[in-house]
Amino acid sequence: MRYPCNGQALRKFRKQKGKTQAGLAEGANCSEHYISDLENGKKSNPSADVLMRISDALEVPFETLLDFHGPVED
């Protein structure tokens, strides 16, 4: 299952937390390029696992990074 990620919200929370894309990527165990693609809308449907790792690294609720509430079927 994949979830639609709001790239603008991701960028906003990342900057509020004082993290770089590289720092967030390291904390979420994914690539800096992937974080950049999410923020810029080039990728928009990360897996629940990836989105959870990102939200944990940012210390924000999972739902705050969603475009809308609900999964997208693969």
CATH number at residue 47: 1.10.260.40
Question: Confidence class of residue 63 from pLDDT cuts 50, 70 and 90?
Answer: confident
Record the tokens describing residue 29, joined without a space: 């165990």
* Residue-range definition of the domain harbouring residue 18: 7-65
Residue 73 lies in a domain: no
- The pLDDT of 5-17, averaged and rounded, is 90
Question: Is there a domain that residue 72 lies in?
Answer: no
Q: What is the pLDDT of residues 13-40, one digit of tens each?
A: 999 999 999 999 999 999 999 999 999 9
54 located within any domain: yes
- Asked if residue 2 belongs to a domain, the reply is no
pLDDT of residue 70: 46
What pLDDT, on a 0 to 100 scale, did the predictor assign at position 72? Answer: 46
Whether residue 16 contacts residue 49, with contact meaning beta carbons closer than 8 Å, is answered with no
Tell me, what's the pLDDT at 68?
Answer: 58
Report if residue 74 sits inside a domain.
Answer: no
pLDDT of residue 69: 45
Cα–Cα nearest to 4, from 54, 57, 55, 68: 68
Q: Is 71 contained in some domain?
A: no
Number of structural domains in the chain: 1
